[in-house]
């Protein structure tokens, strides 16, 4: 989608570099406010999230979920013989879903009157951005305000640089068309866990290697432990407190030494090594120094209003660090545009941004973990409800998991909520609202929840704490 060629004299009220969730949201909000807005995107509309991240990943995970359900069909009276997983077809569907969503982003921008420029944005000054195509600068855009929303890129480890064939990133993992017999996954964060579950469910022998002492090290430890048990039950090997050393690429795969403190080193081999050790900001090639914008540890430096050291330049989403989540970028887009419009905004609180992992069982959380609360010296009351006691979970055969709610023992307000189990990511909205409004266990328990639903487990967990906090208890 190419815009009509603009004169170099054209001055935009707002230029956005990057069309991911944050960039698109910023452009749409600016246009709705009456600003003349343009967006610069080096790839397809929607950025990494739509094209090579959130959306195609979830489409693939859905294919694995259906295949997993078929494998368990006999218990439900559904007999399916010789069910097979066709990775090429699953990938084709995921690419189709991503393509459809990308076209949807392009349509929304066009309908809102946002001018779209294909190419890489490179700062010429604090008010000018060159559009670079095939290595050469083309037109130069001028803007009163600029938002950098270029997202992030997969981090690499020296000596483990991806070759796109044997040592791969999540991008290559989303495009394989032949199911590998084996895979090593380096990194037990959200991306590593999701990819490990997907390939293991499809039939690959998977080993996860995580340097920290547990998977999802930023999540509540009780939830992390439950996840590990579930993954191991499904056949995935999990090695925590571990390192991969002496990695060697061979003709038909990769070999490496697994080192775990207190154990003998073990030689492993697999067809692919998926490196999922985190994300850094996409700051290279932007010539940020020409605009006077500072970068630290690979991320653009901003204040709580997403404003850089240059008052007219903002940065949102993964490129400015913090929690690397698409919905955080969208929320920051609103903050940045309000700043441009001269309106007041409330800075984001990282602990009130919901976090989700889409493997099965899914994980969703908001607020403080039990460990974080205790480290801060906060006395807490904790309510738990196992899905094994839920009528809906039993009817659907999804008994794994629990709801864990954390409340302040002092004032009774909710501090955090953590869910592991089928459908957890669809339940987090209620806990996000409850945590944001600092509701008490009694208030949450007093809300009538439909029966039979998984959400009843939220009420059950809150009720346990409500009874605990009741006078005379």
Write out the catalytic residue numbers. Answer: 451
User: Quick one: which of 416, 356, 352, 406 has its CA closest to 384?
Assistant: 406
Residues with Cβ within 8 Å of 370's Cβ and at least 6 positions away in sequence, in order, are 220, 221, 222, 380, 382, 404, 406, 416
Q: Report the DSSP pairing between strands 363-367 and 355-357.
A: antiparallel
Residues with Cβ within 8 Å of 355's Cβ and at least 6 positions away in sequence, in order, are 190, 218, 219, 323, 325, 363, 364, 365, 366
User: Quick one: which of 371, 359, 330 has its CA closest to 424?
Assistant: 359
E strands within 327-426? 355-357, 363-367, 380-386, 402-408, 414-420
CB atoms within 10 A of CB 7: 8
Residue 314 CA to residue 228 CA, distance in Å, equals 40
E strands within 251-372? 253-260, 266-270, 272-275, 279-281, 295-296, 299-300, 313-315, 355-357, 363-367
């Amino acid at each position: 989608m190419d815009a009509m060629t603009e004169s170099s004299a054209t001055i935009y009220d707002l230029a956005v570099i990057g069309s991911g969730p944050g960039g698109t949201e910023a452009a749409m909000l600016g246009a709705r406010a009456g600003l003349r807005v343009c967006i610069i995107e080096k790839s397809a509309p929607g950025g990494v999230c739509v094209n090579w991240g959130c959306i195609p990943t979830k489409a693939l995970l859905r294919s694995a979920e259906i295949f997993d359900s078929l494998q368990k069909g006999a218990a439900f009276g559904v007999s399916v013989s010789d069910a097979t997983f066709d990775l090429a077809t699953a990938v084709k569907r995921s690419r189709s879903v991503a393509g459809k969503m990308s076209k949807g982003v392009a349509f929304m921008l066009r309908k809102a009157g946002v001018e779209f420029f294909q190419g890489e944005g490179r700062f010429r000054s604090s008010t000018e951005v060159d559009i670079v195509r095939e290595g050469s600068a083309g037109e130069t855009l001028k803007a009163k305000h600029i938002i950098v929303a270029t997202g992030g890129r997969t981090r690499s480890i020296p000596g483990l640089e991806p070759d796109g064939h044997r040592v791969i990133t999540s991008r290559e993992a989303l495009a394989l068309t032949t199911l590998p017999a084996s895979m090593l996954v380096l990194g037990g964060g959200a991306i590593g866990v999701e990819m490990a579950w997907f390939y293991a469910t499809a039939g690959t022998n998977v080993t996860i290697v995580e340097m920290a002492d547990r998977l999802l090290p930023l999540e509540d430890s009780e939830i992390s432990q439950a996840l590990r048990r579930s993954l191991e039950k499904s056949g995935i090997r999990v090695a925590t407190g571990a390192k991969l050393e002496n990695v060697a690429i061979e003709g038909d795969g990769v070999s490496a030494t697994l080192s775990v403190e207190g154990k003998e080193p073990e030689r492993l081999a697999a067809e692919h090594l998926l490196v999922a050790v985190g994300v850094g900001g996409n700051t290279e090639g932007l010539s940020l120094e020409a605009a006077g914008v500072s970068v630290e540890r690979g991320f653009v430096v901003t204040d709580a209003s997403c404003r850089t050291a240059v008052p007219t330049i903002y940065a949102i989403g993964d490129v400015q660090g913090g929690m690397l989540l698409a919905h955080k970028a969208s929320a920051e887009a609103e903050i940045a545009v309000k700043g441009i419009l001269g309106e007041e905004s409330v800075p984001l609180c990282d602990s009130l941004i919901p976090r989700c992992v889409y493997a099965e069982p899914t994980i969703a959380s908001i607020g403080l973990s039990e460990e974080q609360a205790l480290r801060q010296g906060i006395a807490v009351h904790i309510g738990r409800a196992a899905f094994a006691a839920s009528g809906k979970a039993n009817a659907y055969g999804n008994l794994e998991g629990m709801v864990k709610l954390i409340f302040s023992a002092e004032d009774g307000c909710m501090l955090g909520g953590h869910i592991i189990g089928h459908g957890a990511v669809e339940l987090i909205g209620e806990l996000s609202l409850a945590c944001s409004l600092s509701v008490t266990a009694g208030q949450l328990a007093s809300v009538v929840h439909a029966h039979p639903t998984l959400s009843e487990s939220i009420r059950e967990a809150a009720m346990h704490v409500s009874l605990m906090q009741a006078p005379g208890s």
